[in-house]
Structure 1
Amino acid sequence: MRSSFALIATAGIIALTLSGCASAPAPEAGSGDSSDAVTVKGDFGDTPRVTFPTPLEPDETQCTEVIEGDGELLQEGQIVLLGASLFNGTTGESVQSVGYDGEPVPLAVGGDTLTAFTKGLSCAREGSRVVVVAPSEEAIRPSDDPTSAEGGDSVVAVFDVQRAFMPRADGAVRLSRDGFPAVVLAPDGRPGITVPKAAPFETTQVEVLKEGSGEVVESGDAVVVHYTSVTWDESDVFDSTWEKGAPTIVTVTDGEGGQMPAGFSEAVIGQKVGSQVAVVVPPSAGFGDQGNASVPAGSTLFYVIDILGVI
């Protein structure tokens, strides 16, 4: 599916920050009296009708799967597209409802995403509708989020998980050419990069390190990616979603309008989801003679990119 997407506007509700994980852990929360007390009606993917007695005051986050999903449980290191309905669990007041009518919003599982939502989504799968009820200390940051419940109030969330993207590239391994930077992966998929001492390539050079079998990326697509990038001369990491703890969503184009350097887009367009690609980006396809705050002027760059999905 290719469609436009929106972000949940409320600070503290959504954050694309997470940590990679090599295998799916057991759920961090289970059903309880509070989550089981929430009644949800309506079709999956449509704005639900939600009722519950007030106040709901669980001691810890609870989750109940009211519509069963398919596949493996969600884990830290995944971005999902979902519909979300949020309520003050103490007063019953509706706080926010987004991501329905065919326009699901992205949310990262783990990291800076609120503890309650990470725990609650750990019992969900793609296709799940889950109820999450949590105490305030795991669910809200009133100073950051003036539209949320007041301090001390619990939160109730209903999530429809419409899509779940892989946490790391899963394609078939391929060998790169001699003279190309060496890439070694940690157990969670995080790349380590060793740049040769030779002079850099003068033109954009792309190598497929893992060849996926998913959808082909086209110009203009919004793509879910994990990447690490280094400068060729110093081998210094200047940007990394792994270090930030989050995959990201970027638009790639073969002309103007892309959100990354031209060499990055060139490496990703035409590749299949599930692939990991490496690309040498000369200054002309990178940050040019101006550089930026992290990249010296005239720098050749090297990226390792996991292509995790197309929005």
Structure 2
Amino acid sequence: MRKTSAALATLALAAVALTGCAAGPSFDGAACDRAASSSGIADLADVSGEIGSKPDVGLFTPIGGETSSFGDIVVGSGPALTSSTQSAVFEFSLFSGKTGEPVAATAYDEDSAQLASVGYWAQTVPAFGSALECATEGSRVLTVVSPEDFGAQNLTSFGLDEDEPVVAVFDVVKAYPSRAEGALQYNDASGMPTVVRAPDGRPGIIVPDSDAPAELEVQTLIKGDGEKVAEDDTLLVNYTGVTWDDREVFDSSWDRGAATFDMASLIPGFTQGLTGQTVGSQVLIVVPPELGYGEAGTGGVPGNATLVFVVDILGIDPPTTAQQ
């Protein structure tokens, strides 16, 4: 077997070259109708083992790979990957379609898990992205990738022949939601910003034509039924921040994917506003300057700015490293 870490690093580097020419999945916000591209793909391999553990894989080689295809070996009952930027934990094994020999694999270790997205895999190998669109948590997906679709650079990096198809087994170990998924809450919106939502959950913030509140203000817009947030937790969130006076977005995770935050390292207003909230909630937080960036400001935030955040709480204690 070739070196796992070096091989996967090379595959990740290949994504950089593909980013400009390989379109990511276009299923954001759409209802998922999971359909494999080949119903007979399961006949190409004998795959066993628990989801999240390294599978035992026997391939009936050589496998013809003129066309890329995929199929679900196990269909999980968890949430589906409905967005190209949605965070998930994948485990992954790669094999030669010619010899059946293993080529690379992740560690299949919870302590080494990394966050990734369908969009990341689509940039790395577009056929991987297609295979993972709308897959559900707890699923095991088998995909055969043609040499053309895998790419000459990737084949060379893995020491494979130019006509050698590859076979990948993906486990969708954990799928985090991309948006708050709780119950809408009533709030007296007098003097507070209004939040509107796009079909994919992306918030828009409308700041009123009035003075900003002098104190920290927190409203739960959507109430989730998950675990309660503690002040020393690490969170996975989607968020948008605007300044009250300028009404300009100065930061948002929605375009680049959910952010991992150590609560203890955030501005005080952010930490105070999220402590005690529950996973699955969407929270509106208005942060006065003394609990934000103060007189100095930072980046796109001017000094003495009142900040408005809308935060979707997606999970607690996710993996803190991500494949970019």
Interval of TM-score (by shorter of Structure 1 and Structure 2): 0.7 to 0.9
Is 1:241 aligned to 2:242, yes or no?
A: no
Is 1:86 aligned to 2:94, yes or no?
A: yes
Cα drift, residue 121 of structure 1: 1.7
- Relative to 1, partners in 2 of residues 1:111 and 1:160: Cα closer, same or farther, differing over 3 Å? closer
* Corresponding residue for residue 116 of structure 2: 107
- Paired residue for 1:281, among 287, 290, 306? 287
Q: C-alpha separation between the residues in 1 aligned to 2:305 and 2:164?
A: 51
Is 1:263 aligned to 2:269, yes or no?
A: yes
SS of the residue corresponding to residue 110 of structure 1 reads helix
Q: C-alpha separation between the residues in 2 aligned to 1:11 and 1:63?
A: 21
* Corresponding residue for residue 295 of structure 1: 301
- Paired residue for 2:127, among 94, 116, 119? 116
What value does the CA root-mean-square deviation take over the aligned residues?
3.3
List aligned pairs for 1:59-98, cutoff 5 A: 59-60=67-68, 62-71=69-78, 73-76=80-83, 78-89=86-97, 94-98=102-106
Q: TM-score, normalised to structure 2's length?
A: 0.77
Deviations 1:186-222 (A, max 9, x none): 1211111111222222332211111111111223333
CA contact (8 A) 2:25 2:133 kept: no
SS of the residue corresponding to residue 53 of structure 2 reads coil
Q: C-alpha separation between the residues in 2 aligned to 1:20 and 1:261?
A: 35
- Paired residue for 2:143, among 105, 118, 132? 132
List aligned pairs for 1:104-253, cutoff 5 A: 104-110=113-119, 113-114=122-123, 115-122=126-133, 124-135=135-146, 138-139=149-150, 142=153, 154-176=165-187, 177-244=189-256, 246-253=257-264
Counterpart AA for 1:135: S
Q: Which structure has more helix as a fraction of its residues?
A: 2
Counterpart AA for 1:25: C
Q: C-alpha separation between the residues in 1 aligned to 2:247 and 2:52?
A: 46
Q: TM-score, normalised to structure 1's length?
A: 0.80
CA contact (8 A) 1:80 1:165 kept: yes
Equivalent pairs, count: 295
* Structure 1: gaps of 5 or more residues: 1-7
SS of the residue corresponding to residue 12 of structure 2 reads coil
Bigger Rg, which one: 2
Identity value in percent: 37
Cα drift, residue 24 of structure 1: 2.8
* Structure 2: gaps of 5 or more residues: 1-7, 17-23, 319-324
